[in-house]
A and B are shown apart, each in its own frame.
Chain A
């Protein structure tokens, strides 16, 4: 058992605040089986000392559900964007590097501000326009097949992996796959379809769907396995038809 790893080594890209320069710090924490990145960060939080024994400030990161469904703990781990709760130490090469996502404003250490993603949802009107919350009986009937297709898009947890990996996304020049998939989700619903044009209009704006460069990184990194490229394909078709018809209607 002498070869058993005793320590986990981590390199963490840190930043005190948005106005200061980022820097790297190294940590070594005692190994236990079945640890994930979150439990490593919890160790550092409890006892913030660098690898060479120098006291430092605790590394700040965000976490909540710890079962990869809330999306909050997303970061770049060994160069790959993913959730830190489901990143298991035993499956990672060491030293493990942790960096904040690069496509969003960096708040401190591994924390980023993803409010832009929620603004996307507002812009594309990602909701079903119901008449009211009073009792109007059941919703429209649907086949299980339709439901399953919608369910796949409905699992998006707004984590931002797709946007981090997308070469086109950044500096506000492309709305990105997250929002396009939610357009698909809403437009597939029988009631949502009634306000479909409002959403397509947004996808035809300057930062719209035509900015997709077809790199297909989004679908590869999505932890919830959303068929993002399918959504882009379908919405591309919808906007094209919509564009044509609105030209004809003029």
Chain B
């Protein structure tokens, strides 16, 4: 087969998707790039604090191995270790590449890259571009991919939403079916391999720190067509977000990385303004309990502590909120290093965090779970790969801050050559050719037509809100088996009510009602995977915490959850975790490692 014949579909235009697209185009092959929104508007823009790489420019003796150890330890030993090691080894070259691509990383006096501290490590390991690092990294990739678009090697399908995979009779992936979100045209796109890079499923929880495109819908479609979904129950709840009517906006961990302190008044229901509460009447509970890491304990721990403090009635004003205090840091430093996130707080809350402590509370943020992949980012379906938040690798039971950006790029950089290698090796399916594409398009069109015809009394947005409330209430920070069971029953009820939704839009041109209805069904399916995965896992590990089973149980649960779709519901099995490089040990952040 001639080299230029290879065509790879990349679904998703965030950091992972664009990384893969750039590598494939650079190797001289063609990319069809699909994205619900213009790729420059992908959720990666929301990443704030930075990107980790053990470059060791601060004379602290940092090394990729220490980065590896911090990541595996922070993930409570649930991650397969070899790809984590590979990522940490690749990380410095990733930073340097972005530096060459023009990312305005913050500098030291000597003009070198500056690094700051983040959670779960004692080293300055996080490179940053102000406090909008994700935006800057995404733009750099967007620019490089545009360069290949201008050369004709990348074709963008922005405003197209993937509905399903095209599988042949041997369950081999031969492309995707996508829908144009203006015309609702449903079309098949043949490809030699497909890379999923669609990010996380935060919208399953209703309000989260995620962008509106983060439904997990396309990944759920893959799962329903036979892709394995791994560790779904591991959902990261970020300790510091700004509660809002429409969204829970992230307040970056970099605020604590630069010295921000979490506290509540020692006296319950203290009504004094925070500035008037003297130092000795403030309870810096993270610093008190975890002297070594203090405010920079990993997110799962910080979130649980904040949650508990509020449950005990110490929340500011008796509400679910604690102070994140930056007011002791000079204003000039804050503006330079954290300007972008402080502006977000000012804009949406109205207070100036340079002078008044911020009020924050935990919010759903990231899925450690995702499509199961091997060490080359290949799923169990031949021809289907995955990279970024939508795959399950690297982060185990809890992701460390600033590791997501590096894992997205790493995943894309590994998936691209793996997809090319696969594409070179396959026989194209001549005979059955167009038939499988036509059949899949027809199947998807029928689903659309059924939804358009339906005239039930149920409201899809009300169902979405209800799912979000139940999931947030019962499947986040503290999990009880009876509540998890009830939540699954609720999800089954919602799936039944879903059959009676009507789209309430008579104008199908550029409607959002149909795409949302498609997403909602897929979210409900994935919600069951998350909930039942949590119900089954009777231990506490990383972000998964059950008061009934408060300890990590390596004997029974040091294993990866695998969910496979069936019409009767997800079927669970478990596979061993590759702990061949670092022996699991108990996490203890009260002291240095």
Chain A residues packing against B (C-beta within 8 Å):
16-17, 32, 34-36, 38-39, 42, 45-48, 57-58, 60, 62-72, 85-86, 88, 107-108, 111, 114-115, 118, 121-122, 125-130, 132-133, 135-139, 141-144, 147-148, 150-151, 154-155, 157-158, 185-186, 189, 191-192
Contact indicator A64/B246 (Cβ below 8 Å) = no
Q: Which of A69, A71, A135 contacts B96 (CB 8 A)?
A: A135
Task: Confirm or deny: B427 has a beta carbon within 8 angstroms of a beta carbon on chain A.
Answer: no
Chain A residue contacts of B112, Cβ below 8 A: 138, 141
Compute the total of residue contacts between A and B using a CB distance below 8 Å. 190
Contact indicator A141/B111 (Cβ below 8 Å) = yes
Contact indicator B245/A39 (Cβ below 8 Å) = yes
Nearest 6 interchain pairs by C-beta = A139-B99, A127-B143, A141-B111, A139-B100, A108-B510, A151-B104
Contact indicator A68/B347 (Cβ below 8 Å) = yes
Give the distance to chain B from A166, nearest Cβ to Cβ, in Å: 20
Q: Which of A32, A38, A122 contacts B150 (CB 8 A)?
A: A122
Q: A67-B46, A138-B96, A191-B102 are in contact. List 16 more A-B contacts (CB 8 A).
A: A17-B507, A17-B510, A42-B461, A46-B461, A58-B505, A64-B37, A64-B213, A67-B344, A126-B143, A126-B146, A133-B26, A154-B103, A157-B40, A157-B41, A158-B40, A189-B102
Contact indicator B107/A58 (Cβ below 8 Å) = no
Contact indicator B510/A111 (Cβ below 8 Å) = yes
Contact indicator B246/A17 (Cβ below 8 Å) = no
Contact A128 to B511, CB < 8 A, known contacts A72-B41, A135-B93, A151-B129:
no
Q: Which of A48, A138, A148, A157 contacts B99 (CB 8 A)?
A: A138
Contact indicator B461/A45 (Cβ below 8 Å) = yes
Chain B residues packing against A (C-beta within 8 Å):
22-23, 26, 37-38, 40-43, 45-46, 93, 96-97, 99-113, 129-130, 132, 135-136, 139-140, 143-144, 146-147, 149-150, 158, 182, 211-213, 244-247, 249-250, 336, 340, 344, 347-348, 459, 461-462, 504-507, 509-513
Chain A residue contacts of B247, Cβ below 8 A: 66-67, 85
Contact indicator A16/B507 (Cβ below 8 Å) = yes
Chain B residue contacts of A34, Cβ below 8 A: 244-245
Contact A130 to B100, CB < 8 A, known contacts A67-B247, A69-B135, A142-B107:
yes
Q: Which of B99, B146, B182 contacts A127 (CB 8 A)?
A: B146
Contact indicator A70/B348 (Cβ below 8 Å) = no
Contact indicator A67/B249 (Cβ below 8 Å) = yes
Interchain CA distance A212-B346 in the complex, whole Å: 33
Chain A residue contacts of B111, Cβ below 8 A: 141-144
Contact A86 to B348, CB < 8 A, known contacts A64-B213, A128-B101, A139-B99:
yes
Output the nearest chain B residue to A156 by Cβ-Cβ distance. Answer: B139
Q: Which of A48, A86, A114, A155 contacts B135 (CB 8 A)?
A: A155
Chain A residue contacts of B96, Cβ below 8 A: 135-139
Output the nearest chain B residue to A16 by Cβ-Cβ distance. Answer: B507
Contact indicator A70/B41 (Cβ below 8 Å) = yes
Interchain CA distance A249-B377 in the complex, whole Å: 53
- 29 sampled A-B residue pairs with Cβ under 8 A: A17-B507, A35-B245, A36-B245, A45-B512, A58-B505, A58-B513, A60-B510, A64-B41, A65-B41, A65-B211, A66-B246, A66-B247, A67-B247, A67-B250, A70-B41, A114-B38, A115-B158, A121-B143, A122-B150, A125-B147, A128-B101, A137-B96, A138-B96, A139-B96, A139-B99, A139-B100, A141-B110, A186-B102, A189-B102
Contact indicator B23/A133 (Cβ below 8 Å) = yes
Q: Which of B26, B97, B130, B146 contacts A122 (CB 8 A)?
A: B146
Chain A residue contacts of B244, Cβ below 8 A: 34, 36, 66
Contact indicator B507/A144 (Cβ below 8 Å) = no
Chain A residue contacts of B140, Cβ below 8 A: 128
> Which label, helix, strand, loop or mixed, suits the secondary structure of the A interface?
loop
Chain A residue contacts of B109, Cβ below 8 A: 144
Interchain CA distance A183-B347 in the complex, whole Å: 29
Output the nearest chain A residue to B109 by Cβ-Cβ distance. Answer: A144
Interchain CA distance A38-B143 in the complex, whole Å: 29
Q: Which of A36, A121, A151 contacts B146 (CB 8 A)?
A: A121
Interchain CA distance A62-B513 in the complex, whole Å: 13
Contact indicator B144/A63 (Cβ below 8 Å) = no
Contact indicator A71/B245 (Cβ below 8 Å) = no
Q: Which of A66, A72, A132 contacts B26 (CB 8 A)?
A: A132
Interchain CA distance A129-B584 in the complex, whole Å: 45
Chain B residue contacts of A39, Cβ below 8 A: 245-246
Chain A residue contacts of B43, Cβ below 8 A: 64-65
Contact indicator A65/B45 (Cβ below 8 Å) = yes
Chain B residue contacts of A125, Cβ below 8 A: 147, 150
Q: Which of B136, B459, B505, B509 contacts A17 (CB 8 A)?
A: B509
Q: Which of B45, B97, B106, B511 contacts A147 (CB 8 A)?
A: B106
Interchain CA distance A2-B190 in the complex, whole Å: 63
Output the nearest chain B residue to A89 by Cβ-Cβ distance. Answer: B245
Chain A residue contacts of B23, Cβ below 8 A: 133
Interchain CA distance A127-B43 in the complex, whole Å: 21
Give the distance to chain B from A54, nearest Cβ to Cβ, in Å: 13
Output the nearest chain A residue to B250 by Cβ-Cβ distance. Answer: A67
Contact A86 to B347, CB < 8 A, known contacts A66-B212, A72-B37, A128-B143:
yes
Output the nearest chain B residue to A69 by Cβ-Cβ distance. Answer: B45
Contact indicator A66/B146 (Cβ below 8 Å) = no
Interchain CA distance A142-B108 in the complex, whole Å: 9
